[in-house]
Amino acid sequence: MQAIRERLSGLPEPKVGIILGTGLGGLADAMQVHAAVPYADIPEFPRSTVQSHAGRFLFGTLGGVPVVMQQGRNHLYEGYGPDDVCMGVRCMAQLGMQTLIVTNAAGCLNPQWDAGDLMVITDHINFTGRTPLSGENHEVWGPRFPDMSRAYDPQLVRTALEQADALGIRLERGVYVGVCGPQMETPAETRMFKRLGADAVGMSTVMEVIAARHMGIRVLGFSCLTNKNLPDCMEDAPIETVIAMANRSGGNLARLIESVTARLG
Ligand code: HPA
């Protein structure tokens, strides 16, 4: 933490933290950046091994509000444990973050939607079998048994839907199921996730949201639905396609997040 604080002297405390998922680098361009801190400069911070993830914190303002962006995240499939995956969220919380906006690329399980659609996350299913809260509880962070009944803040979901409407951006709402990956789902798994009530499936987000809620941080989440993941018409979803589709809808998501953030000041 000291390594980060030294670089931030004189800058306002970030109110909002944003985790940029695959293909969402465009949001960083909309930000007025005042400082960048590569993860490599932070002792013990896990390095991202994923090509499309830059691996640094950006500090500055978005929509006039002081923000911190995590450009590049770590995933369970890289071999990192839940605590490593959540280190960014916990750092941002210690720096003053009150609201976390989390974004990801995800497969679309809802037959009524298409690849390229955007979804605001209303709830999640943690299908990873992991949690960042196992072991001794750090009381200063939060309670032993944190409530998850409103993990994704209903008021923020409403704000996102209103702003999407005002900007003319189509925004679906649905449930995200988080898996470990890195392998994509079989048709049987996809059928199961649909029956469990999920609308999107991805390999990130749930650990970070659990850690954030444990610390009492308000959460808003968005998925860029990059590929249709339906049992009877599975598409191949090579990573190139996932990145290209996320880049395509990333522009709209960037506009939407900027507009929501401006209302969090
Ligand atoms: N499954 C899991 N993770 C993903 C997918 C998918 O279909 N698309 C993008 N991330």
Tell me if 105 CB under 6 Å of ligand 1: yes
Instruction: Return the structure tokens found at 112.
Output: 């009524």
Domains of the chain, each with CATH number or no CATH = 12-134+142-264 (3.40.50.1580)
Task: Give the Å distance between the CA of 39 and the centre of ligand 1.
Answer: 25
Ligand 1 binding pocket includes 227 (Cβ within 6 Å): yes
For every one of its 265 residues, what pLDDT tens digit does the chain have, with 9 covering 90 and above? 777 888 788 888 999 999 999 878 788 888 999 999 999 888 888 876 665 556 899 999 999 999 999 998 999 999 999 999 999 999 999 999 999 999 999 999 999 999 999 999 999 999 999 999 999 999 999 999 999 999 999 999 999 999 999 999 999 999 999 999 999 999 999 999 999 999 999 999 999 999 999 999 999 999 999 998 887 766 677 788 778 777 778 889 999 999 999 999 7
CA of 11 to the centre of ligand 1 (A): 37
Give SS3 for 216: coil
Ligand 1 atom closest to the CA of 108, numbered from 1: 7
Q: What is the DSSP letter of 73?
A: -
Tokens encoding 163: 């702003």
Q: How far is the CA of 106 from the centre of ligand 1 (A)?
A: 4
The angle that helices 87-94 and 206-214 make with each other, rounded to 10 degrees, is 30
C-alpha 40 chain-centroid distance: 21
**Going by DSSP bridges, is the β-strand pair 32-38/56-62 parallel, antiparallel, or unpaired?**
antiparallel
How far apart (Å, rounded) are the C-alpha atoms in residues 98 and 153? 12
Whole-angstrom distance between the N-terminal and C-terminal Cα of the chain? 24
Indicate whether this complex's ipTM tops 0.85. Answer: yes
Strand partners, 57: 37, 70
CA gyration radius for the chain? 17
Of all protein residues, whose CA lies closest to atom 9 belonging to ligand 1? 106
